[in-house]
Amino acid sequence: MTTVSPTRRRLTRIYYDSLKFLCPGLRNSQFAYREALQEVVRPGARWLDLGCGHQLFPDWMPDAQSAQFSLVNRCAFVVGVDAADLRPHAVGIKKIAADIERLPFPDGTFSLVTANMVVEHVRNPQNLLNEVQRVLVPGGRFLFHTPNARYFEVAIGRHIPAPVMKGFARFLDGRGSEDIFPTHYRLNKASQIRDSAGRSGLETRFIRHVECTAQGVMLGPLVILELLVIRTLRLPMFENYRSDLVVMLEKPVA
């Protein structure tokens, strides 16, 4: 069991006290992704999850385990691909170690492909989209969740050396080095997504700009500034600058 330090508990309490007044209703973008999955995982789906890790949803999410089983049980079969995380999957999904830019599947194998916080790590997103288009059946869909490159934290972070960013991630999130991967953000703006999807023969069904919980919880009172920015981005005129994207692409039938 992980021990939470008194300092981390105190700073977390400051954050939640501030949240009630500044951003009521704020939630993690993983909930928006989960809701989109509920929309697209249809009975009998043949589902490929890219960069699958060892679970579909994080441990802290309420009912994460039962929600995973519910989605997987709708499907004819589910396969996960991951080149780095070879741990057994939490709901028994078959996992294959492979490069997601060179998928080891025949054309038209899947009706659904997904990626949760993965495409920001891809060096050549055009190769990825070409492969997704190839393995999808006509009418098949690609759903992914990724940071928005236009969000202020991402825009700033891209100019900070990678070793420094790893240190920030360990401090802010409490993650180990093994869970921190290089990021490229080459498919992380709405314009990039539409252009790259079109070149791959995929149609853009929706791009949802969604908000997420603050990242600076461990910065104490400074997190209030981040919450004020998030609150400002709730205005419709600033929608395109929210922190995360949930995207649906589709392979045309004809």
Residue 178, domain member (yes or no): yes
Q: Are 208 and 242 spatial neighbours (Cβ–Cβ below 8 Å)?
A: no
Q: What is the pLDDT of residue 193?
A: 98
Nearest 5°: the CA angle 216, 217, 221 is 90
Residue 45, domain member (yes or no): yes
Number of domains in the chain: 1
Report CA-CA distances (Å) from 130 to 48, 136, 200, 204, 224.
15, 10, 5, 14, 42
SS3 204: strand
Other Cβ atoms closer than 10 A to 205: 14
Q: What is the pLDDT of residue 158?
A: 77
Q: What is the pLDDT of residue 218?
A: 77
For residue 94, the cross-strand partners are 79
Residue 114, domain member (yes or no): yes
Q: What is the pLDDT along the chain (254 residues), one digit of tens a residue?
A: 455 577 778 878 888 888 888 999 999 999 999 999 999 999 999 999 999 999 999 988 999 999 999 999 999 999 999 988 878 888 889 999 999 999 999 999 999 999 999 999 999 999 999 999 999 999 999 999 999 999 999 988 877 666 665 655 565 555 444 455 688 899 999 999 999 999 999 999 999 999 999 988 877 788 889 999 999 999 999 999 999 999 999 999 97
Q: How many DSSP H helices and E strands does the chain contain? A: 8, 7
What CATH number does the domain containing 93 carry?
3.40.50.150
The strands making up 244-250's β-sheet, listed across from edge to edge, are 94-96, 77-81, 46-50, 110-116, 136-147, 244-250, 203-210
Residue 170, domain member (yes or no): yes
Q: What is the pLDDT of residue 177?
A: 46
Residue 1, domain member (yes or no): no
Q: Which domain holds residue 183?
A: 6-250
Query: 198: part of which helix (H) or strand (E)?
Result: helix 190-199
